[in-house]
Amino acid sequence: MAGMKKLSKRLSACLGALSSLSSIADIGTDHAYLPCFGISNGIIERAIAIDVVDGPLRQAQATIADYGLVEKIELRKGSGLQPLAEGEVDGVSIAGMGGKLIAQLLLDSLPVAKSMKRLVFQPQAGEATLRRTLLENNFAIVDEQLLEEDGLIYMIIIAEPRSNGVEFTELDVEFGSTLRRDATNQLFRQKWQHELNKIDEALQRIPADNPRRTEFEQRQKLIKGVL
């Protein structure tokens, strides 16, 4: 086997959130580093690695062969959760896509998503859209994490299906229920302070009679209230 590649901080966090499960699917697997690392280190037992593009699937195949895990990791081509059957795996990881796309992939395969114990997401943007989709479809957001890597702040959202409705507020959708209640989280403050700075800059450019000004001012007030 080739030298073990170190997993990035964001993929390590995704894998850590799946550590109580025995089987997972890794969607948009790219090089299949997450499932290879997880199985090699005894964190998970087996995995299905899925990608919609041939290039990444070939790279994943090479990595899996390199790690000697051809028996433990199955490769499948397809979009999102569609290549999976209900109850086939205990959990899923979807990292590095936009929140809107992840939300759509979930909606395309809701019965499969609901058959899992835990779903772990690392959206690159659009996390409010993803949260709303989860909460409106009876997934409880059990934890959220922020981490910094190479000067960027990444978010991990961990969800679990519930049999009945999940209560939530608009603030939960926008800011995350666990994150906004943790006053000590410096990355949370940093992320939203950065957003405030962008709004301040926009307000300096927008004329007083522009209807969009009100929209920016309301958002500014909302963020200040949470911070």
Query: What is the tens place of the pLDDT at every residue in 150-201?
Result: 999 999 999 999 998 899 999 999 999 989 888 788 999 999 999 999 999 9
Tell me the two tokens of residue 119: 């779903």
Number of domains in the chain: 2
In a domain, 178, yes or no: no
d(CA 175, CA 224): 12
In a domain, 63, yes or no: yes
Q: What is the DSSP letter of 126?
A: -
Q: Which of 118-132, 145-159, 194-208 is predicted with the least confidence, judged by mean pLDDT?
A: 194-208
Q: Where residue 83 sits, what CATH number does that domain have?
A: 3.40.50.150
- Please give the residue that has the higher pLDDT: either 1 or 115: 115
Return the pLDDT at 1: 46
For the residues 117-146, what does the mean pLDDT come to? 97
Return the pLDDT at 139: 98
Return the pLDDT at 4: 57
d(CA 176, CA 83): 30
d(CA 209, CA 222): 21
CA atoms within 13 A on the CB side of 21: 25
Q: Are residues 79 and 132 in the same domain?
A: yes
Q: Are residues 136 and 194 in the same domain?
A: no
In which domain, by residue range, is 135 found?
Answer: 9-166
In a domain, 133, yes or no: yes
Q: Are residues 82 and 151 in the same domain?
A: yes
For the residues 3-27, what does the mean pLDDT come to? 91
Beta-carbon contacts of 176 under 8 Å, excluding residues fewer than 6 positions away, are: 127, 131, 141, 144, 155, 157
In a domain, 147, yes or no: yes
Query: What is the tens place of the pLDDT at every residue in 69-108?
Result: 999 999 999 999 999 999 999 999 999 999 999 999 999 9
Q: Note the pTM of the prediction, 2 decimals.
A: 0.92
Whether 20 and 44 have beta carbons less than 8 Å apart is answered as no
- List the one residue out of 125, 134, 196, 186 whose CA is nearest residue 165: 134
Q: Are residues 115 and 200 in the same domain?
A: no
Q: Sorting pLDDT into bands at 50, 70 and 90, what band is 144?
A: very high
Q: Are residues 67 and 158 in the same domain?
A: yes
Q: Are residues 108 and 200 in the same domain?
A: no
Q: Are residues 106 and 194 in the same domain?
A: no
In a domain, 132, yes or no: yes
Tell me the two tokens of residue 141: 């957001």
CA atoms within 13 A on the CB side of 158: 18
